[in-house]
Amino acid sequence: MLLNVENLRVSYGNIKALHGISFNIDAGEIVTIIGANGAGKSTTLRAVSRMVPVETGSVMTCMGKDLLKFPADKVVSQLGITHVPEGRRLFGNLTVMENLQLATFARKDRDNVKKDYLRVFEIFPRLEERKSQASGTLSGGEQQMLAIGRAFMSGRRLMLLDEPSMGLSPLLMMNVFQALKEINRQEGTAILLVEQNARLALKFSKKGYVLENGNLVLEGASETLINDPEVKKAYLGG
């Protein structure tokens, strides 16, 4: 098992965001968490990437190691878990290339880094064309590509994706998800996808969880969930 989460609790002040959820991801697996706005999807990703403190009793292990012992930057550089946050959050003042370079800050394997740049440009040829452009001037689709490329450069055991479809046209969305599938297939990168577009997420993934008000209420194979009458009614528009 790649990632195992048990009894994960997170609060923002007095507001409880996650009430002790448990889930797991196998190596190379694509898993999705679907749920309404404010259900706690983003919080789950932030907890795994150690961007929000978790409450005592929460257990998170990555390949047997206690994830809670790693600070946020080491989760990326030592465990290979990368988080593509909602809204991309690129460094708009840096060029496309610099955004990719920065993601290799902690890496020592120079030769592989060079190969990885080529891989990113192979997957997203548009990024190579815009290499020396400030990333703030990219279109929404290109920004999402760069955000994924940046995550690819910093580590690729597990990618946490927060609403990658947001603000993209259907065609661009297809491109992005195809690229993700390719990364998953070729690099064996596991993906934890959080989406409001539940249909897309369930089609893309193998296993799914349904999150409601900070509790996981349903889990199962994605193809089962997509046909579940409750899920259909609540998240797939009937």
Q: Does 154 bind another protein (CB under 8 A)?
A: yes
- Exposure b/e, 22-53, CB count within 10 A at least 16 = b: ebebeebbbbbbbbeeebbbbbbbbbbbbebe
The one among 63, 94, 113, 172 contacting another protein by CB under 8 A: 94
Q: Does 85 bind another protein (CB under 8 A)?
A: yes
Residue 134's DSSP bridge partners are 95
Q: How far is CA 84 from the centre of its chain?
A: 5
Q: Rg of the chain's alpha carbons, rounded to an integer?
A: 17
Q: Does 143 bind another protein (CB under 8 A)?
A: no
Contact in structure between 45 and 54 (CB atoms under 8 Å): no
DSSP string, 119-147: HHHHH-HHHHHTTTSBGGGS-HHHHHHHH
Q: Does 150 bind another protein (CB under 8 A)?
A: yes
Query: CA of 25: how far to CAs of 53, 183, 193, in Å?
Result: 21, 17, 11
Q: Does 98 bind another protein (CB under 8 A)?
A: yes
- Give the nearest distance from C-beta 136 to another protein in angstroms: 9
Q: Near another protein by CB under 8 A, which window of 24-32, 90-98, 113-121, 182-190?
A: 90-98
Q: In the structure encoding, which two tokens stand for residue 203, read together?
A: 């089609």
- Give the nearest distance from C-beta 232 to another protein in angstroms: 32
Distance CA 46, CA 49 (A): 5
Q: Near another protein by CB under 8 A, which window of 18-26, 78-86, 168-176, 213-221?
A: 78-86
- Give the nearest distance from C-beta 64 to another protein in angstroms: 21
- Give the nearest distance from C-beta 149 to another protein in angstroms: 11
- Give the nearest distance from C-beta 185 to another protein in angstroms: 24
- Give the nearest distance from C-beta 154 to another protein in angstroms: 4
- 92 or 185, CB closer to another protein? 92
Which phi and psi (to 5°) does residue 24 adopt? Answer: -150, 160
Closest residue by Cα to residue 231 from 170, 223, 31: 223
Q: Does 6 bind another protein (CB under 8 A)?
A: no
- 156 or 207, CB closer to another protein? 156
The one among 1, 69, 105, 131 contacting another protein by CB under 8 A: 105
Q: Does 71 bind another protein (CB under 8 A)?
A: yes
186: how many CB neighbours lie within 10 A of its CB? 10
- 38 or 178, CB closer to another protein? 38
Q: Which residues contact another protein by CB under 8 A? A: 46, 49-52, 71-74, 76-77, 82-83, 85, 89, 91-94, 98, 101-107, 150-151, 154-155
